[in-house]
Structure 1
Amino acid sequence: MDRHQGLHHHGDGDPTLGSHGMLLLGGEFFHMSHLPMFRSPHNFRVVLEVGLADTAASVVRSHRHLVPEEPYDTYVPDDFPMSELDPRGSGPRRTSMTGKLVCGHFEREGGQHPPLAERTVVTVQNVVHFAELDVRAKHRDDGELGYLCFGRGGRLYLAHVITGAPDFDQVLTVRTVPGTATDPLGQRLPDDDATLEKFFAERFAVAERVGILGRTDEPDRRVVPPQTVDGAFSVAPPSGVHGFRVRLEAQREVYMETGDLREPGHHHG
């Protein structure tokens, strides 16, 4: 079933019920990022920290990638209501999913190959970010380029902040450049590099927004390797000032997509 076609409304059931395909990230630790659209029930920006069974994790870490134009893996869970992942929701909280792992994009070239694993159980360890996208919102190219920063164990990811159609979904890995953290006025932070490194390794279990200074919110202005950019965080560093800036070096663009986030009702081929 193509998730772009099947809305899976069952009578008076949950309107967020559907086939919610996910981008798989990581190796030592795993995250999943929902592949969103500007139409129900796929209009959600959701990032999860997840656990894979040992056999599935080993396959992900060791398999030979067969789809060069899709240099990532995806996960296709059985249909479920996205509302069950909402940490603010009043209903039962979803703690696991069952589905298949695919090398590449499950609806594109990757879907033409046998799955890496079938009936794979994924445990939901932490909801890193959960937001419903407004299907009526219009994108502003002159807005500031923004990302959600998250990670674990020293691996940092940036996921583009999606605001309105037409937009783009992008996920990349980055690292902080030592010695570049300052307060919002440009003064060097009193925290040493070791303290800040520990802060970044532990802090982003919940995604924090980072604005990219001097860049507008357009696909051709996005951060791409090997660029180094100035990022502005509103979260306080260990020294406790109100926000900070740090240089971020892009290492790998894991995923980039524009077709799925065009105007509502657009069907990507």
Structure 2
Amino acid sequence: MVSPSPELALHGLVLLGTDTVYAVHMPTFTAPHDFQAVLRVTLDTDTYRTARKRYGTSALFTARPRTLLLKDLQPGATCPADLYFGRFGRDGEPLGEVSITIEETVYVGHPAAEPRTLRYVLFGREQLYLSHVLTRPPDFDQVVTAQLAGEWWASGSGAETPARTVTVPDRPDDLTGRLRPGEQLTADGTQLQVLAEVYLETADLAAGGV
């Protein structure tokens, strides 16, 4: 895990979960947006939670922060944002303004020019998620829901899976090798079943530098 720095600026956020809400940063390869982050957050209105319950676990909700620069990603940091059902700036439906407060920094990392190995950040509480770890352009951003293979994830158990990176063996780190709904795999000893793809982005990561 890489420590946050004052130069970080939020580009956009994918919102996940209902009872426990996570915000996954939508990175680019251009500073100051060139970092990945998973944050456990709270929102000041019930708009998101109500819409999430209506549209389900795998529906895409995004937020575009109005305050781009965030001095740190520590608990208590707050920023106003515009909430969307779908992808903001494209076909997303605006749902109004929300204030997002960080409760916990679950994961922060920066892309690195290293040999491509297909890796994901595994995290979650009531629901498990996998977020693709970036290396160098061109690359792809992806978030999927998952469960432990052969088991039903115990909703409402309150047990949180500590965030960690897992490597998917014998798979290229590109669109052809990405995780797909319905497949089962073993990543670093953890048997997982992919349930649904929440988010997939390539255009923002087609070029740039790290």
Question: Shorter-normalised TM-score: what interval?
Answer: 0.7 to 0.9
What does 1:123-134 correspond to in 2, within 5 Å? 123-134=101-112
Structure 1 vs Structure 2 CA RMSD: 2.9
* In 2: Cα distance, 1:210 partner to 1:78 partner: 33
1:117 paired residue number: 96
What does 1:100-249 correspond to in 2, within 5 Å? 100-110=82-92, 113=93, 115-118=94-97, 120-134=98-112, 137=113, 140=115, 143-153=116-126, 155-178=127-150, 202-205=159-162, 207-232=163-188, 245-249=189-193
CA contact (8 A) 1:20 1:79 kept: no
Percent identical pairs in the alignment equals 31
Letter in 1 for 2:159: E
For these two proteins, the number of residue pairs brought into alignment is 202
Higher helix residue share: 1
What does 1:11-30 correspond to in 2, within 5 Å? 15-16=7-8, 18=9, 20-30=11-21
Q: CA 1:84/1:264 → structure 2, altered by over 3 Å: closer, same or farther?
A: same
Question: Higher Cα Rg: structure 1 or 2?
Answer: 1
Q: Deviations over 1:74-109 (max 9, x none)?
A: 111122324511x5xxxxx65222111111111111
**TM (normalized to structure 2)?**
0.84
Cα deviation, residue 19, structure 1: 5.2
Q: Considering Cα pairs closer than 8 Å and 6+ residues apart, tell me whether 1 or 2 has the greater RCO.
A: 2
The answer to whether structure 1 residue 254 and structure 2 residue 198 are counterparts is: yes
In structure 2, the gaps of 5 or more residues are 1-5
* In 2: Cα distance, 1:258 partner to 1:215 partner: 18
Letter in 2 for 1:213: P
Cα deviation, residue 165, structure 1: 1.1
1:187 paired residue number: none
**TM (normalized to structure 1)?**
0.66
